[in-house]
Amino acid sequence: MTYLTSNQLKQYNEKGYLAPINVLSKKEALAAREEIEKIEKEMPNEIDKSGRYNVHLISPKLDSIVHNSKILDVVESIIGKNILVCSSTLFIKDPNEYGYVSYHQDAKYIGLEPHNWVTAWVALTDSYEKNGCMKMWPKSHLEIKDHNEKFDKGNLLTRGQTVENVPEDEIELVELEAGQMSLHHPRIVHGSGVNKSNDRRIGFVIQSYIGTNVKQILGKNSVQLARGVDRFNYHETISRTKNLMDKENIALRNRENTYLQEIFYKGSEQKGSY
Ligand SMILES: O=C(O)CCC(=O)C(=O)O
């Protein structure tokens, strides 16, 4: 068991994020990337742009990351020992593709209440300034801020949700090597720039690990029990995948993705990539 130290926890609570944390070997990160690329090749329409949710439901390698005990130990330090997995998103930026993520707070539109949850961003490739790594506004997690919907083709967010006037001089880059992860608070303001490198930037984002006391107030989400017991039973439980691109799991994933789209687009006419 490798829980967070009190210093790491202090940093998470004060700044609203923590990084880097070593969780996978480079070989494991590469194997996950290769499995994603196999799925992309065999099911090209399923996991492009708008379809990059919940790939862990059809990929045993991503499933094993979601249920990785190193990640869960760290998550337990933040949200307690009863942990559910809500959903996941692959944030892939292809080289020289115009794709960025505007500054936003996840808690503003994800519908998970109370905020006893944390997002794990696992780097499956190196992630650094030139290829559009995550950028955090430390201490911005103390309050929910106003967002404008600035829909833009290059914005990877569904509705172009944007917090304006972010002080760039306070922004911290989250540079990670493949196999490392960052953790971020539901309310931290974060975003990322364009990939100007010659390789893909792949972040596998468990979005999110939630305490069993957390409800989905904008729609529904099914969950997997990752650790502990669920005495609240607020959500339908779904099983883990054993086989790559299993037919039943493809259908399950499609259903879950429909639920997510309903949550993300609630109250909006706009439809973006993610
Ligand atoms: O991967 C990115 O660049 C952005 C990811 C993000 O917004 C998130 O994980 O909440």
Here the tokens at position 144 are 């929910």
Ligand 1 proximity of 91 Cβ (cutoff 6 Å):
yes
> Which pLDDT tens digit goes with each residue over 78-136?
999 999 999 999 999 999 788 899 999 999 989 999 999 999 999 999 999 999 999 99
**Atom in ligand 1 nearest the alpha carbon of residue 192:** 3
Ligand 1 proximity of 208 Cβ (cutoff 6 Å):
no
Residue 267 pLDDT: 54
Cα 90 from Cα 146, distance rounded (Å)? 26
Cα 20 from Cα 56, distance rounded (Å)? 22
Looking at this protein, which amino acid is placed at residue 124? L
Which pLDDT band, with edges at 50, 70 and 90, does 36 fall under?
very high
Here the tokens at position 67 are 């249920």
Is residue 239 packed enough to be buried (19+ CB in 10 Å), middle (13-18) or exposed (0-12)?
exposed
Here the tokens at position 27 are 């070989």
Q: How many angstroms does the Cα of residue 195 sit away from the middle of ligand 1?
A: 13
Ligand 1 proximity of 121 Cβ (cutoff 6 Å):
yes
Spatial CA neighbour of 155 closest among 36, 37, 17, 271: 271
Q: What is the DSSP string of 168-186?
A: GGG-EEE-B-TTEEEEE-T
Beta bridge partners of 60: none
Which pLDDT band, with edges at 50, 70 and 90, does 1 fall under?
low
Pocket test for ligand 1, best of 88, 105, 121, 135 (most atoms within 8 A of CB): 121
Task: List the residue whose alpha carbon is closest to atom 6 of ligand 1.
Answer: 191
Which pLDDT band, with edges at 50, 70 and 90, does 268 fall under?
low
